[in-house]
Amino acid sequence: MNMNSQEKIIEPLLFEKSVPDRAGIPLPASDVPVTLEESHFPASYQRKTPCEWPELSEPQVVRHFTRLSQLNYSIDTHFYPLGSCTMKHNPKVNERLVLLPDFVNLHPLRPHVLSQGILEILFQTEKWLCELCGMDAFTLQPSAGAQGELTGILVGRAYHESRGEKRPVVLIPDSAHGTNPASVAVAGLSVVTVKSTDQGHVDVEDLKAKLNKEVALIMMTVPSTLGLFEPRMAEIAKTVHEAGALVYMDGANLNALVGLVKPGDIGVDILHVNVHKTFSTPHGGGGPGAGPVGVKKHLEDFLPVPRVIKDKDVYRRSLNYPKSIGRVHGFQGNIGVLLRAYCYMRLQGLEGFREMSESAILSANYLRAKLKTLFPKMSKEYCMHEVVVSGEGAFGPGIRTLDVAKRLLDYGFYAPTIYFPLIVPEAMMIEPTENETKETLDSFCQAMEKIIEESKNEPDKLKSAPLTTPVRRLDEVKAARQLNLKYTVNSNL
Amino acid sequence: MNPNDLRYTKSHEWISADGTAGVTDHAQHEITDVVFVELPKVGRVCKSAEACCVVESVKAAFDIYTPVSGEIISINTDLSGNPGLVNQSPYEAGWLYKMKISDDSEREKLMTYEQYQEFLKSN
Amino acid sequence: MFIPHTNKQKQEMLQTIGVKSFDELLTNIPQSVLRPPMNLPASMTEMELVRHMEELAEQDRLASSYLGAGAYEHFVPTSVWALALRGEFATAYTPYQAEASQGTLQAIYEFQTLICALLGMDVANASMYDGASAAAEACLVAAKHTGRTDILIPETVHPQTRQVIDTYLSRSEAKTRVIQCPKGILDPETLKQNLSDQTAALLFQNPNFFGGLENVQALSEAAHKSGALVIASTYPVALGLMAPPGEYNADIAVAEAQCLGLPLGYGGPYLGLFACQKELIRKMPGRVVGQTEDNDGRRAFVLTLQAREQHIRREKATSNICTNQALCALASTIYMALLGKQGLRHLAHLNFQKAHYAASELEKHGFPLVFKNPFFNEFVVKCPVPPEKIVQKCATERVLPGLPLGQYFPEHKDHLLVCVTEIKTKQDIDQFVQMLKKI
């Protein structure tokens, strides 16, 4: 690659714009009578080579990151139907409120007398999450869904052990997110996979065959990753409970249920909530999220510490839970994310939440109805908040879901989640959320129709898509074989 | 290696009479471009059908199983710099490891080239 | 709220779907659990919400703070969040479609480069949840890599970091062992007595929880001699002056990088750094971005090494982490770019100088330093009255004087951990010393 050729570079790296001794943000001079030399700071403790950060002016930095931002698709600029990620509108007011100086300056180890405002917010957030989910207690500490899973599994494991039971196995349907088995592994338990039926539901007979005294819990995504509500949920929960195991719900798809169904009412003992999905906090290009975990009464004592408690109108952080699994965050969690979730709950109220979930379900089913003729292998059932289609038999010869996804980018849509769930061949998982207009949904379906036509008449267009994005299809094999994970003047790592 | 002289597993590994092992041409097609191979430690003693290597493509990782029991006596170090050899030459330069076969009768029980071709057709 | 469908459109949509009423779509949900009563507050308008939140925030207003202990008050240039919160960054997700996510991907590649330069390490990932979980994941990597079980941790590592490590390790083969440090730093001789052929790693924090600088070179050499890995937890701002982990051959470097442009925000979202030597690259948890090119030969960036991750490897993944702290990593990248090479050094100097001035003034006025170790911007003083009483008294003035250590270390019940950063002027410090003197 000729690195000197400008057209081969979309936006130079920070390091390529750096000039020695150029000043960035100025800091004031020292106003105290202390110098490094006089103090007790041995040379052997000091840095030998300077930290080679680039040297840029503030206007350069501003332009650089503004230009980078323009290379992204995002909710604010595009329809972003990434299934299972709930890419809904992120209210701008929340961004303003978390930057209130009094929130910004809140040190996490402040004494409670100087943190009553924030503690009230956290206390109420837990209470309302309990109400929406039908749970008895929540911890806000986990930083993301996967850390919530780990927390929930550790809580379940501690519960069984407190009753003198060793249960080393976790049942997971084959349609589950990869984080489920990965979290089970970190929690030191082993995974047994439960099959799905042809309709994509849990194969209850297979589940029953695998359920025994070894099983600590079953992890179910509700609605499932196929966007379907499990029709035999009540029976599953009853069977699992009779075997002495717990029902864990992966709340990734909670956006379909808020205000409509309390997970606690359908037999769920533990769940995590992805607030960056359901409660509208920005996804940030991959985080930060937050993954609060809710439990029924019998599991409350095992939640992480510190917990927020209210004691005679005074809010405190309490460590006094001897059965707790411990701490999962250095302080008390991704509070800035939870603050936004609190604001969102305040904006919605119960009626707002119901309307939200219903609208999400309506929009997904509308997409399903319009796409049905294009995708012959569509599931027979109505979906919840997202629709999963299989590309099998839908496209021209040799065209794969990946090609269609890339071509969608040319039509101005971010691609749906693809090749997931694993049990659907050539899967495409489309989640419109409650925020997209009917007009947008219509034009998405039109684009899909055109692309399928192209896949039959002009397959090369799809094979070489995207054509209009800042860069074309990438050589991922080269990226993995010749690892280059940081800028150096002349070489790869 | 001449594919006709090798023995094959249902999980698409091959092994020669001298204990050299790798993945089949069919397997490398399924895996697509190999970007990394994690090889076993020399000296490791494996039972048959034990996961001893991982072959990675960009979007997937595949466990590779030992066709028979034995001790790993050497590994193909060329793969660390050039994992694509598995794609280019699955039966020659893309071999994975060599093992000292504990019991040759185990190898005898594996599929011959013709049987493996039949197996592929029937799947 | 935020729903665009009109009633007419809803009817049209139901018609297209082929149902008469919305509830026909919910056939799998038993009526008995549908739309239960819920006790939630009524919805607020944006105008009401702003007022409500301002009132809550105001309750926690503060005059000034000398509290550090793992979360630090540093100046954040306005550009940092003005840029990071641009919708194109904030409302995108994990860059699965690289062609439509080059902004996020290039920024992460730049982040990895800046972090490697800062820490002196070969590779860095795209971030972890916080410094504590990064430390915990590092311990898991070390145990897996060495096949050993013991993780040695001096008590000079933040107690809350140690608690998170214990939670993460609670169900693994690996176990932590805490080494006492009566001198406020880990004595290399004490370390040597604790090392064995079962030691998977030594994890230390530098500057440590008491603000003191560890004898990193000696510690690292001793640990390596016994075949253990060295995990260094560090404070990025201090590395403008202090030797970075790469200079003393740490195998893994982790850090809480809240100090690089993130607000205190009551504990999060913060930014966990994880960097390592290249031998450990495939055992590294989390996402990583690599450079490649597109079909036209243009330079481009993409998520790589994904086969280690949970969405592919499931229960065999290097970690269960999926969503990380990407936006915080972006904000820190902007902060690092604004500061630059000279700025970092100057910033570290300011912290060092102001803290040393404050320490010497406090010492003059009856608050002697407890340890004689070199320190950066944080130090422990002995108080003439119980530190809890000082905190209580200062709270009435809405000032945070530091952290009483008795809650973590009974033997330090008379001691207060004080932090001074670049944001304090000489006048601030003088007033603070006067205030403490009067108590």
Residues in chain C closer than 8 A to B56 (CB atoms):
307
Give the whole-angstrom CA distance, residue C168 versus residue A146: 13
Q: Residue B39 belongs to a domain with what CATH number? A: 2.40.50.100
* CB contacts < 8 A (A, C): 691
Neighbours of chain A (3+ CB pairs under 8 A): B, C
Q: Residue A493 — pLDDT band, cuts 50, 70, 90?
A: very low
The values of phi and psi at residue A473, to 5°, are -60, 140
Residues in chain B closer than 8 A to A477 (CB atoms):
33, 35, 58
Position A415 scores a pLDDT of 97
Position C1 scores a pLDDT of 83
Is the pLDDT at C64 greater than 60? The verdict is yes
Give the whole-angstrom CA distance, residue A64 versus residue B57: 34
**Which residue in C has a C-alpha nearest to residue A403's C-alpha?**
C97
Q: Residues 35-94, chain B: which have Cβ within 8 Å of C?
A: 35-36, 38, 56-61
Give the whole-angstrom CA distance, residue C313 versus residue C71: 34
Is the pLDDT at A308 greater than 90? The verdict is yes
Quote the number of domains for chain B. 1
Domain C78-335 has CATH 3.40.640.10: yes
The answer to the question of residue A228 being in a domain is yes
Concatenated DSSP letters of B47-99: -TT-EEEEEE-SS-EEEEE-SS-EEEEEE-THHHH-TTHHHH-TTTTT--EEE
Residues in chain A closer than 8 A to B56 (CB atoms):
480
Question: Once rounded to an integer, what is the mean pLDDT over residues A380-396?
Answer: 96
Is the ipTM beyond the 0.90 threshold?
yes
Is the pLDDT at C362 greater than 50? The verdict is yes
* Inter-chain touch B38–C313, beta carbons under 8 Å: no
Tell me the residue type at C406.
Answer: G
Neighbours of chain C (3+ CB pairs under 8 A): A, B
The verdict on A480 touching B (C-beta cutoff 8 Å) is yes
Query: What letter would DSSP give residue C307?
Result: G
Quote the number of domains for chain A. 2
Q: Would you give the end-to-end CA distance of chain A in angstroms?
A: 17
The answer to the question of residue A167 being in a domain is yes
Give the whole-angstrom CA distance, residue C263 versus residue C327: 13
β-pair partners for C276: C123, C252
Q: Position of tokens 């008795």?
A: C406
Q: Residues 243-262, chain C: which have Cβ within 8 Å of A?
A: 243-244, 247, 256
* Inter-chain touch C247–A47, beta carbons under 8 Å: yes
- Provide the token pair at A92: 């701008």
Is the pLDDT at A3 greater than 50? The verdict is no
The answer to the question of residue B122 being in a domain is no
**Which residue in B has a C-alpha nearest to residue C305's C-alpha?**
B58
Chain B residues in contact with chain A using a Cβ-Cβ cutoff of 8 Å: 33, 35-36, 56, 58-59, 83-84
The values of phi and psi at residue A107, to 5°, are -75, 135
pLDDT in tens, A9-38: 999 999 999 999 998 899 999 999 987 776
* Inter-chain touch B58–C282, beta carbons under 8 Å: no
Position A35 scores a pLDDT of 78
pLDDT in tens, B41-86: 999 999 999 999 999 999 889 999 999 999 999 999 999 999 999 9
Q: Would you give the end-to-end CA distance of chain C in angstroms?
A: 53
Chain C residues in contact with chain B using a Cβ-Cβ cutoff of 8 Å: 282, 304, 306-307, 312-313, 316
Per-chain mean pLDDT for chain C: 97
Position A492 scores a pLDDT of 42
Residues in chain A closer than 8 A to B84 (CB atoms):
481
Q: Give the gap in angstroms from C-alpha A469 to the nearest C-alpha of chain C.
A: 6
Residues in chain B closer than 8 A to A481 (CB atoms):
35-36, 83-84
Position A4 scores a pLDDT of 44
Question: Once rounded to an integer, what is the mean pLDDT over residues C363-374?
Answer: 96
Nearest by CB: B60 against C282, C304, C307: C307
Question: Once rounded to an integer, what is the mean pLDDT over residues A304-318?
Answer: 96
Q: Give the gap in angstroms from C-alpha A480 to the nearest C-alpha of chain B.
A: 6
Q: Residue A448 belongs to a domain with what CATH number? A: 3.90.1150.10
Q: Are residues A297 and A410 in the same domain?
A: no
* Inter-chain touch C268–A334, beta carbons under 8 Å: yes
Question: Once rounded to an integer, what is the mean pLDDT over residues A390-417?
Answer: 97
* CB contacts < 8 A (A, B): 14
Position A2 scores a pLDDT of 39
Residues 6+ apart with CB under 8 A from C36: A134, A261, A262, A265
The answer to the question of residue B45 being in a domain is yes
The answer to the question of residue A6 being in a domain is no
Determine the angle formed by the axes of helices C159-169 and C131-146, rounding to 10 degrees. 50
Question: Once rounded to an integer, what is the mean pLDDT over residues A373-382?
Answer: 93
Per-chain mean pLDDT for chain A: 95
* Inter-chain touch C2–A476, beta carbons under 8 Å: no
Mutate to test the interface with A, among C6, C58, C93 (most CBs of A within 10 A): C93
- Provide the token pair at A110: 């402040």
Q: Looking at A348, A374, A407, which one is the last position of a domain? A: A348
Q: Give the gap in angstroms from C-alpha A179 to the nearest C-alpha of chain C.
A: 5
Residues 6+ apart with CB under 8 A from A342: A121, A124, A125
* Inter-chain touch B61–C307, beta carbons under 8 Å: yes
Nearest by CB: C83 against A62, A76, A352: A62
Residues in chain C closer than 8 A to B61 (CB atoms):
307, 312-313, 316
The answer to the question of residue A165 being in a domain is yes
Give the whole-angstrom CA distance, residue C339 versus residue A478: 33
Percent of chain B at pLDDT > 90 equals 96
Q: Are residues A362 and A473 in the same domain?
A: yes
Residues in chain B closer than 8 A to C306 (CB atoms):
58-59
Nearest by CB: C312 against B35, B36, B61: B61
Position A491 scores a pLDDT of 46
Give the whole-angstrom CA distance, residue A81 versus residue A432: 5
The values of phi and psi at residue C274, to 5°, are -140, 115
Domain boundaries, chain C: 64-74+341-438, 78-335
Concatenated DSSP letters of C309-352: SHHHHGGGSS----S--HHHHHHHHHHHHHHHHHHHHHHHHHHH
CATH superfamily membership of C64-74+341-438: Aspartate Aminotransferase, domain 1 (3.90.1150.10)
Position A490 scores a pLDDT of 57
Question: Once rounded to an integer, what is the mean pLDDT over residues C159-170?
Answer: 97
- Provide the token pair at C213: 């600088």
**In which domain, by residue range, is B44 found?**
3-103+111-117
Residues in chain C closer than 8 A to A406 (CB atoms):
97, 99
* Inter-chain touch C98–A336, beta carbons under 8 Å: no
Query: What letter would DSSP give residue A196?
Result: B
For chain C, state the CA radius of gyration.
Answer: 25
Q: Looking at A348, A364, A385, which one is the last position of a domain? A: A348
The answer to the question of residue B91 being in a domain is yes
Question: Once rounded to an integer, what is the mean pLDDT over residues A30-56?
Answer: 88
* Inter-chain touch C24–A382, beta carbons under 8 Å: yes
Is the pLDDT at C108 greater than 80? The verdict is yes
Which of C247, C271, C349, C329 shows the shortest CA–CA distance to C72? C271
The values of phi and psi at residue A147, to 5°, are -70, -30
Give the whole-angstrom CA distance, residue B40 versus residue B45: 10
**Which residue in B has a C-alpha nearest to residue A480's C-alpha?**
B35
The values of phi and psi at residue A115, to 5°, are -140, 35
* Inter-chain touch B59–C312, beta carbons under 8 Å: yes
Query: What letter would DSSP give residue A176?
Result: S
The answer to the question of residue A47 being in a domain is no
Give the whole-angstrom CA distance, residue C264 versus residue A336: 10
Position A6 scores a pLDDT of 56
Please state, in angstroms and as integers, the Cα–Cα distance from residue A241 to each residue in A194, A200, A249, A268, following that order: 17, 23, 14, 10
Q: Residue A397 — pLDDT band, cuts 50, 70, 90?
A: very high
* Inter-chain touch C117–A51, beta carbons under 8 Å: yes
Position A1 scores a pLDDT of 36
Q: Looking at A332, A348, A364, which one is the last position of a domain? A: A348
* Inter-chain touch C75–A27, beta carbons under 8 Å: yes
Residues 6+ apart with CB under 8 A from A281: A90, A94, A275, A289, A290, A337, A340, A341, A344
- Provide the token pair at A18: 């750096």
Q: Residue C315 — pLDDT band, cuts 50, 70, 90?
A: confident
Query: What letter would DSSP give residue C244?
Result: P
β-pair partners for A79: A413
Which of B66, B67, B75 shows the shortest CA–CA distance to B97? B75
**In which domain, by residue range, is A429 found?**
350-478
Q: Residue A8 — pLDDT band, cuts 50, 70, 90?
A: confident
Nearest by CB: B60 against C282, C312, C316: C312
CB-CB contact of C4 with A434 (8 Å):
no
Percent of chain A at pLDDT > 70 equals 97
CB-CB contact of A311 with A123 (8 Å):
no
Position A39 scores a pLDDT of 66
